Structures are given as structure tokens and as C-alpha cells.
Amino acid sequence: MYTLTLSTVALATLAAAGPLSQRAGYTVGPFATCSASDLAQTSCRNTTAIQNDCCIETRGGQLLQTQFWDYSPAKGPSASWTIHGLWPDRCDSSYEGYCDPSREVTGDEITEIIQDVGGHNLLRYMRRYWKDSSTVDGNLWSHEYNKHATCFSSGRPECYAGAYGTNPKKDVFDYFYRTTELFKGLDTYQVLKAGGVVPSTEKTYTLDQIQAAIKKAYGVTATVGCTKPDNTLSEMWYHFHVKGGNVYNGEYLPINGGTSFCNATGIRYPPKEKGDDN
């Protein structure tokens, strides 16, 4: 009983906010050294000016891990949501995109960069869980990196330490690695299921039911997205501030989501017609 309680609590905390795991020998960085003063700060909650914006996110201090429920055509395993991206929003939830055209990459380049770092398991995971809604997954990967990752104040090439010179695209690897690691701790399918919200061709759900399930798992609400006009669940956005480090090595602190774009009642959650289960 004691062990069970302890591990449940530990898991819930780790899932959303834990330090970056380094499974499979992957690691982010190396990053340039940061001052103790900066490392004591949290994005959007800093109590003193940030000295080095490589150390604490100052441009988009609210981070969103966003997910899709693509049921038709079905994308990804039928018992899982899939990855949309990792986005930097400003503290007031406004945002910018495509901040550095000189760093933009294609899907093929992303694949090469990840392979060069030895990230075969990461690529395999991305091919299963980071799915473009139409055909070529690399199109979504490059869209997410080019639009969003180029807008972090931290994670820029000049934020890396010397070794960056031998791998000038390490931040590309770090973006995809960090995003998938966050996603692994945000299992929307299981969290909704635990709250009695399961895919159905007949039943509908209320926004309150969905938010109660999310809140029970993570202690905060999410931004819930539905397609119009049929009010069908389509997206889940998890919001965070980042403490004591940059977007790739800092600790993610869950915060409440913004205004959901679903009607409060009658939310549909159809099963994936035929998930990529095989």
C-alpha cells in the first residue's frame, strides 16, 4: 500500500515535471554555463531580470506540449493520442512563429540530424507517435521545428557550448527528443480513460468531465480543442513554465490551460477507425 501510493505520487509528478531522463544514452546540450542567479529563476515568474536568455526562456516562457486525436483517417496507435509539437507562447499566451528562417530544416534533414546523433530509437518513436494528418510525417516535423523551435530564446545555436561547433544542428535533435520525452509523460488516452472518457461512436462527454480527468492526473487543466461544427475532440494542449534551465534541460512545471475551443456539452470522441497498431 505504501509503495503503491508513493510510486503513484512520484509518477504523477515525474510525468509532467520531472528532470529530463537520459534513457538510451541520449543527452541534450552541452549548453554554455549559466549563472546561479539565472538558474534560480522560472520562466514567466522571474523575480529579477534574466541575465542570459539562453539560460531561462524569456521570449516564449509558456511552453505547450500539444497533441492530436486524428481518428479519420486514423493516425498512430488506436489507444494513444499523437504528438503535435512543443510551442513557446508568451506569458500572456500571444505567440510568434518562424523566428529564424536561416535555421529552417526539411523533414529529410531532421531525419539525418537525428541519425547522426545515433537517435534511431527516437526516430522509431517519432514515426509511431508524431504523425502528420495526411501522409509524410516529416512535413509535420519540419513545420513544428521551423515555426516554433526557432522562437525559443534559449536553445539557439549560440546557447550551446563548444561541442556545438562539431554538430551545428544539435538543437534540432534536442527539440525532437525533449518533445517526445514530455509526451511520454502526458498520456491523454489513459488519463481520459481513467476519468471514464473513452472513444465511442454513441456517447458524448462534457468539457467538465474531460477537464476533471486531466486535473486529477496532473493537478491542472489543459486547453481542449474540438473541430467545428460537430464538436469532436481533436487536440489537447498542456501548458508549463520552465524552471532552473532552458526548454531542453529545465524542469517543466504544469500550469492551467487557456480557454478551450469545444462546446461545453455534447463533445464527441470517436474511436480511431483503424489505428496503426501493427
Ligand X SMILES: *[C@@H]1O[C@H](CO)[C@@H](O)[C@H](O)[C@H]1NC(C)=O
| Position 206 contacts ligand X (CB under 6 A) | no
Number of chain positions touching ligand X (CB under 6 A): 11
The number of angstroms, rounded, from the C-alpha of 157 to the middle of its chain's C-alpha atoms is 21
Of the residues 106, 263, 270, 271, which one makes contact with ligand X according to CB under 6 A:
263
| Position 100 contacts ligand X (CB under 6 A) | no
Distance CA 132, CA 74 (A): 11
Candidate segments 99-107, 112-120, 139-147, 229-237, binder of ligand X by CB under 6 A: 229-237
User: Of these residues, 57, 96, 112, 148, which one is catalytic?
Assistant: 148
Of 167 and 206, the one with the shorter C-beta distance to ligand X is 206
**Spatial CA neighbour of 179 closest among 145, 132, 224, 225:** 145
**Spatial CA neighbour of 267 closest among 200, 213, 190:** 200
| Position 49 contacts ligand X (CB under 6 A) | yes
Q: For cell 504544469, name the residue.
A: 254
Task: Let me know how long the chain is.
Answer: 278
Min CB(231)–ligand X separation in Å:
4
Classify residue 124 by burial, with Cβ atoms within 10 Å: 0-12, 13-18, 19+: exposed
- Asked if 267 and 248 count as a contact pair (C-beta separation under 8 A), the reply is no
| Active-site residue, 148 included | yes
| Active-site residue, 104 included | no
- Asked if 30 and 171 count as a contact pair (C-beta separation under 8 A), the reply is no
| Position 50 contacts ligand X (CB under 6 A) | yes
Of the residues 58, 67, 111, 146, which one makes contact with ligand X according to CB under 6 A:
58
DSSP type of residue 18? P
User: Of these residues, 84, 181, 239, 241, which one is catalytic?
Assistant: 84
Of 177 and 269, the one with the shorter C-beta distance to ligand X is 269
Of 101 and 229, the one with the shorter C-beta distance to ligand X is 229
Judged by CB under 6 A, the chain residues 28 through 47 that form the site for ligand X are: 46-47
Task: List CB contacts of 114: < 8 A, sequence separation 6 or more.
Answer: 122, 123, 126, 172, 173, 176
| Position 62 contacts ligand X (CB under 6 A) | no
Catalytically active residues are 84, 144, 148
Given the rule CB under 6 A, which residues bind ligand X?
A: 46-50, 58, 229-231, 263, 266
